[in-house]
Amino acid sequence: MHPLSGLVGVVVALALAPTCPKHFPEMAAQLTAELPEYLSRQYARLRSPVEVVSVGMPELEPLPLADRQFIPDDPKQLFVAIAERPTGGVKVVQRFYWLFLTRTSRGWRLVMTFMRVGTAPPVDVSDGAIAQSVQRWLRTYCP
């Protein structure tokens, strides 16, 4: 056996290891590209009869915040539209999500998540499937 053969496996593993994007636009693009898979798996874990049809391009232009009492300094805002339907169904529902993320010394962390359907007011879904999916993605890439 060659003395460097074990080192090759380590180098390959390091090259394939997920990395935490440092810049918000890069992180948002990578997250939304992989979100359908993460969200679908979360729905399966929850035994929720919902399937993800599509995830829209991320919007990064922040909205002004009136009450910053519960939000950390300089949160980054990510807006994403997700089209879903009941498993096997045809009627698609478009949900709009507003995510607040912050950069820490260890990477990105999800702070809060809101959802809006149609003209209804936003609802806090920080405990919902979308937030759990984003947190799982962040644990994978930004442990």
Mean pLDDT (the chain) is 86
Six token digits for residue 82: 């997700």
CB atoms within 10 A of CB 138: 19
Residues in the chain: 143
pLDDT of residue 13: 45
pLDDT of residue 10: 47
Six token digits for residue 112: 């809060």
- The helix-helix angle for 129-141 and 24-45 (nearest 10°) equals 120
pLDDT for residue 59 is more than 80: yes
Q: Which of 2-6, 16-20, 44-48, 65-69 has the lowest mean pLDDT?
A: 2-6
Q: Rounded distance, CA 95 to CA 75, Å?
A: 22
SS3 label, residue 5 = helix
The stretch 33-41 carries a mean pLDDT of 96
The stretch 123-132 carries a mean pLDDT of 96
Give per-residue burial for 25-44: e unless 16+ CB within 10 Å, then b: eebbebbbeebbebbbebbe
pLDDT digits (tens, 9 = 90+) for 17-33: 678 898 999 999 999 99
Cα angle: 111, vertex 137, 100; to 5 degrees: 20
CB atoms within 10 A of CB 86: 13
Residue pair 75/102 in contact (Cβ under 8 Å)? The answer is yes
pLDDT of residue 78: 95
Q: Rounded distance, CA 25 to CA 45, Å?
A: 29
